Amino acid sequence: PAPMFHWSKWKKRMGASASSSKRPVFDEREDVNFDHFQILRAIGKGSFGKVCIVQKRDTEKMYAMKYMNKQQCIERDEVRNVFRELEILQEIEHVFLVNLWYSFQDEEDMFMVVDLLLGGDLRYHLQQNVQFTEETVKLYICEMALALDYLRSQHIIHRDVKPDNILLDEQGHAHLTDFNIATIIRDGERATALAGTKPYMAPEIFHSFLNGGTGYSFEVDWWSLGVMAYELLRGWRPYDIHSNNPVESLVQLFSTVSVQYSSTWSKEMVALLRKLLTVNPEHRFSCLGDIQASTYLSGVVWSDVCEKRVEPGFVPNKGRLHCDPTFELEEMILESRPLHKKKKRLAKNKSRDNSKDSSQS
């Protein structure tokens, strides 16, 4: 078995130093811990381990709790990503993001308690063959433009904007999640890593990777938004790209293939999509101002969008949890260390350790 990971090494990063006003990644004072939540049901697997619905005992507020086994995290070499995601989430909060409320750990797991969004992700709804109208997609573009504009103000490139990472609330508003491969860039810096999900990655990411060019910046998220908007409207993506396509062929593809827009879409929507799917990042729409200036969105009352006062065209079915029901069974039956038995298990380990200690003295 792999040696136990030395979490103490990470303590320096987790407990904020006295001089720093930043909240620590894991609360050193342990104000909040696992016992403060009641587990209601398991709902799925995400990039950060598994997810369940919980209720905070004192306030009765409901959240989603993501948890990841530390040992597994080390074996999969995901420690850095987890910490980066936590560090980023601690510093941000926005109406169209999935926000972090608490993070803590015990001997076995790391936990993140985040906004509970029960409307399912957009990938799920695409797979259910939901026909998204232009009006609906228009609102998603507005809501995501506000989220991306906010992230830019916080120097964050998300790098993984796609339907899988957009969660709907019960009213149908969009929220961006999963900061697993996000990066922070300071003024004038550029990112260079080949990161993202290929079909949604902007051309300059591949360019920079191949030619060691000047790197890329915030514009990449707006390209992904364009790909996603097109896919929601059409049911397939503007470019036929798959995860196994070699990077060389993709660079070629963007310079030769022209995107086909549906003749049924309004001219203004097509014009907006063209500006998001502009290969040259310098000419691409890539900030809120660009979006707000487009003819298509000239009638949008942005203050209403911010306050979630614009009614979404697509409202997820109430009464159905939009997730895979087999997951819950798995968690109860197949999981070797199920969450709902944690308290007993940790107590048992503790008493075993105590008896070991006393037998050695």
Residue 66 annotated as part of some ligand binding site: yes
Beta carbons of 179 and 161 less than 8 angstroms apart = no
Quick one: which of 46, 53, 41 has its CA closest to 165? Answer: 46
Q: Residue 193: left if φ>0, alpha if ψ -120 to 50, beta else—which one?
A: beta
160, 164, 178, 221: the catalytic one is 160
Beta carbons of 66 and 111 less than 8 angstroms apart = yes
Q: Is the dihedral of CA 70, 73, 77, 83 positive or negative?
A: negative
Instruction: Tell me the chain's radius of gyration from C-alpha atoms.
Output: 22
Token pair of 281, please?
A: 């990042």
Spell out a b/e string for 297-314, using b for 16 or more CB atoms within 10 Å of the CB, else e.
beebeeeebeeeebebeb
Quick one: which of 159, 166, 236 has its CA closest to 202? Answer: 159
The question of whether 160 is a catalytic residue gets the answer: yes
- Beta strands, E only, the chain: 37-45, 50-56, 62-69, 100-105, 109-114, 156-157, 166-168, 174-176, 183-184
CB atoms within 10 A of CB 321: 16
Beta carbons of 316 and 172 less than 8 angstroms apart = yes
Task: Give the residue numbers of the binding site.
Answer: 66
**Which residues are annotated binding-site positions for ATP?**
66
Task: Indicate which residues carry an active-site annotation.
Answer: 160
